[in-house]
Amino acid sequence: MKIYYKIRQYGLHMVWYVLCVTTSHLYASHHIAFKDVASTVMFNSLQPLPKDHFLRRLYSHLLFTPVWMQEDSPSVLATSLLSDIEEDKTLPRASKLVQDAFMLQKKVEKLYAKHSTLKEKVALEFQLSQLYKGYADYTLYGSIDWEAFQLRLHHLQTEGIKADWVTYKPAFTPVSLLEQAVSSHNLTQMFQKAKPTSYHYAELEQALCRYEQIAKSGGWGHVVLYGVLKPSKRYKSILILRERLRASGDYMGCDTPEGTRYDTCLKKAVMHFQQRHGLVADGVVGRQTQKALNVPVEVRIKEIRLNLDRIKWLHQPHAKRHIIINIPAFTLYFEEDGALRQRMKVITGRLKNPTPVFSNTVQTIVLNPNWNVPKSIIQKEMIPKLLNDPNAMAKKGIEIYEGWSKDAPKVDATSIDWSRYRYSKTMPFHFTQMPGYKNALGKVKFLFPNPYSVYMHDTPTKYLFHKNTRAFSHGCIRLQKPIALLQTFSTFNDSVDFQKVQEKLKGDKKAYLKLDNKVPVDVVYLTAYVDYNGVLQFRDDIYGYDKMQRLSYRKW
């Protein structure tokens, strides 16, 4: 009996196994048959489209296989796409993308709730791909029309301004991202992977969500102040000021009673606000602070969005060490393993000589550099001085040579008719300032090759670092603490012996230090960003780039 029972049980298991295998093969065959027929329909439908049309390019890479539609239900990727758009807090709820996603969600539900044709499924497949393209463009590329912006920069040349902004394409395209999502069966993960990881991008996104919430709650009121508010005094407008700072999260509240006196607790909040907006953090509420207080939250939201989109087109560094120079913040940051190692003030280009936005790598450090004066500076600044005083260059330690060759003869400035060369297309003379503490480059310069002849360097004009806005150079980056940066380089470069370097700097002999471990430098332009303490910062648009980019800003 036991043997019979075991044989019977084994037979039942075999029947069940055969049924399962047969059913799964039938289902798989059914599924494959749907894909095969759908692929044929899709291929034929897309042939009339131009070869560069997104749908044709996308499905050519995917071998015309449906991504979103299956025979009996939408795919996992379709569900992910619709939920990703719905859950994206950076997208305005009234945006066309969100509304299209909502509409297509309803269409998908309706399609699978009834008997639908293959033609209907393929049509919805294409609609979902168009929705995907829009959301992928939003996520990967943002809203800045870079071609229009570059054209505006080019037009600045008519005003004598040469401005440059180099963009670096994101690592993914909508097609390559979806290819990998199909392979990994995880679209949400691929969207996350495609987001920038540098410049505190994720933290800035979180700040955007916070400010969107502030806007939904009514934003903050307009602050009207009469005169300057100083700590320890009483003002009727203190109540309004306190509520304004509470709304933006600068005032966290204290144990002391909240009256009309400008108390220590409120002063701390004002200074926090001033520091976040690049103002002199002295606690005195004057005209500039009031102006910053009265920027509506909706404007701040636009600034955050604009800078998120900029980060998408910046060079994304992957080196152990990394230097960031943020032009509107007039600050250099030295990162190591993602953490801040060193920070210092910098002086950047004035409005007429803007520092370009670009990336390269520090390869060489020059000790006791001489300054070879560019032709534009010779003609715009030095020749007018020579016309007034033929000894003007000699007084500044600038020597003039007849050409650039090593044996070029030195020129007596008093013997030249400089009016002939002020507007000439060529400049036959070489102006160079000899090494020394009075040299415009100071005692050290850091070279990172680029077509703009821009570098980081020391400066004799140390007093300018006491100013809050520091756009004074011809485009190069002047460093507040060049020797400290040099010392930092010495800690990971055997070619930089800091003790020997200090001895060389006492003299005037030029020396080149080739670096074994080079460091990427990214010169950026961020007017809204999150700092290394997680604090949201805003800075003035010193070159007017915010305004220029918003003129062609795409709406979703």
Q: Which residues are catalytic?
A: 457, 476
CA dist., res. 332 & res. 313, Å (int): 20
DSSP code for 529: E
Pairing of strands 456-457, 477-479: parallel
Burial class (CB in 10 A: 0-12, 13-18, 19+), 29: exposed
Cα separation, 313 vs 73, whole angstroms? 37
CA atoms of 188 and 201, how far apart (whole Å): 18
Only one residue has tokens 């979806």, namely 178
Cα angle, residue 267 at apex, residues 261 and 272 outer, rounded to 5°: 150
Determine contact, residues 478/458, Cβ cutoff 8 Å.
yes
Copy the structure tokens of residue 304. 């955050």
CA atoms within 13 A on the CB side of 237: 14
- The single-letter code of the amino acid at 310 is R
Element (DSSP H or E) covering residue 46? helix 2-46
User: 179: helix, coil or strand?
Assistant: helix
Q: What is the DSSP letter of 434?
A: P
Counting Cβ atoms within 10 Å, is residue 7 exposed (0-12), middle (13-18) or buried (19+)? Answer: exposed
Structural tokens at position 387: 């016309």
Please give the C-alpha separations between residue 481 and each of 254, 462, 475, 502, in angstroms, as whole numbers.
Answer: 38, 10, 18, 14
The Cα 26–Cα 485 span in angstroms is: 69
CB-CB contact of 313 with 199 (8 Å): no
